[in-house]
Structure 1
């Protein structure tokens, strides 16, 4: 069954706390004793479920126990703050590009590391997971033409690191692409030729599927949607509950993460329609 009360912010916080505890070689039971809570509650905290143990006092206590750096402590406290704010507004997360409140945390990487399946719809730009370096570089320069070269290269490097996720055979990616995304010549004809060859190679992988919705397909739901990614997650080992899906929408001024069931349902229903449109 789905994990009620589990939000992306909570799950990101739990994932980071678990990683820090493992690195410090502290057992879950020992960490629970320090906080004065049960091991079951500690397990719920690390699995991103709703608990009353995400206060700054508890977070600082765990940071002291795990001997974290100042940067890691700031990240934990920022995630805990976002967890509380997300709970107040009932889910969802907007991360403005120019005002990142958690600068040392990349939600995309955190999501893809946890996910077991990704289904994406691309309208104009191909998803990061299937881009070549030159394609990524062309998109980056278009998005930020006045940025320093080292900033552009850092962005490209970060995107390439995310593509390692495709090397995991237990992770599956279904990429549905509008013909427009293949016609738009990011970086020019040579860059697009290399990109198309790369897509063909990726499509031969058993865990990757890439299909195109042609211009000739009429009245399909993709014409009403912008690009998005739907990520699905595994069952959690302790509670045996399934983590709910998340929709990621990349905008020009930031990233939107949707997790309310009604919102997710609309995107989930779009995937089979897009799949059928790609088969016509």
Structure 2
């Protein structure tokens, strides 16, 4: 399941590269395999779950692709064909298509570097915290819909216990003090965060209010996703920056953009508290919320 997302991105990237080398448009490529321009665009964007091998051969012939690259693309297509259905498809009615893409990337990633200026990251949210967010976003939402979103969030969090997966999180102190759901909910959420710091693959550090000016105030919340090598080909997909917005999400992949965000994460981390001090702060605030 993890490999399928990376395989589709790698295959799409190779097809787009060879198409451009051949001087053909997306529309022309679509005509070669008798599909729509929109479908071919999804293939090149890495968003299509299955790509027939007949398409690969037809496109490779038209693009003048060498034997080595043809074998790589066929291998990626085979990897896609063998992939299992992703678990979050059962929750498709509760998410937008771009979030579906994020879950695929998240499941495939080997490492996440997360900066949050507001709200606890979804991977770390307690059911009560997630429920409070859902009611705030859509007060008219039916209770069964809310519970389905909570269930999806809990399924997503099983990734934290996967071998070969690591998460490095930086949180503004604002995240700890914004009383989402009230004092009791926040107290439970902070205790949960403190527990998660004990996982060997998870680090959580807080940027306190009284620190000097830092880039976190300017760049806004984001996630850097980094990926392992594909088992079939040994290829490594480039990292992705995910920027979540109220009106829509952004996925940034160009190397200069990724580098700027990676550097920003490093700069923000320089003014963050260490792990032990962060844990004590979270437990202290949790105790205050319980009083």
**TM-score greater than 0.5 by the shorter chain:** yes
Residue number among 13, 20, 27 corresponding to 1:5 in the alignment? 13
Q: Distance in 1 between matches of 2:230 and 2:271?
A: 34
Establish whether residue 150 from structure 1 lines up as the match of residue 144 from structure 2.
yes
- Secondary structure of 1:106's counterpart equals helix
Question: Over aligned residue pairs, what C-alpha RMSD do you find?
Answer: 3.3
Matched, 1:220 2:214: yes
Task: From the superposition, tell whether residues 34 and 128 of structure 1 become closer, same or farther in structure 2 (CA, over 3 Å).
Answer: closer
> 2:116·2:222 contact (CA, 8 Å) conserved in 1?
yes
Q: Distance in 2 between matches of 1:9 and 1:109?
A: 18
Would you say how many aligned residue pairs link Structure 1 and Structure 2?
219
With a CA cutoff of 8 Å and minimum separation of 6, indicate the structure with the bigger relative contact order. Answer: 1
**1:184-195 aligned within 5 A:** 184-195=178-189
Structure 2 unpaired stretches of 5+:
1-9, 17-41, 59-69, 275-291
Work out which of the two has the higher radius of gyration on C-alpha atoms and give 1 or 2: 2
What TM-score comes out, normalization by structure 2 length?
0.66
Aligned residue among 247, 255, 278 for 1:253: 247
Sort the Cα spacing of 1:200 and 1:11 in 2 relative to 1 into closer, same or farther, 3 A: farther
1:41 aligned to which of 67, 73, 84: 73
Give the secondary-structure state (helix, strand or coil) at the position aligned to 1:267.
helix
Match of 2:235 in 1: 241
Following superposition, the deviation at residue 109 of structure 1 comes to: 1.5
Instruction: Tell me the CA shift for residue 169 of structure 1.
Output: 2.5
1:118 deviates by 0.3
Equivalents in 2 of 1:9, 1:164: separation in Å?
29
Distance in 2, Cα, partners of 1:184 & 1:240: 44
Larger helix share, 1 or 2: 2
| Structure 2 counterparts to residues 92-111 of structure 1, below 5 A | 100=96, 102=97, 106-111=100-105
Please state whether the residue corresponding to 1:279 is helix, strand or coil: coil
Distance 2:56 2:13 in 1: 22
Unaligned regions of 5+ residues in structure 1, if any? 19-30, 49-61, 70-74, 76-96
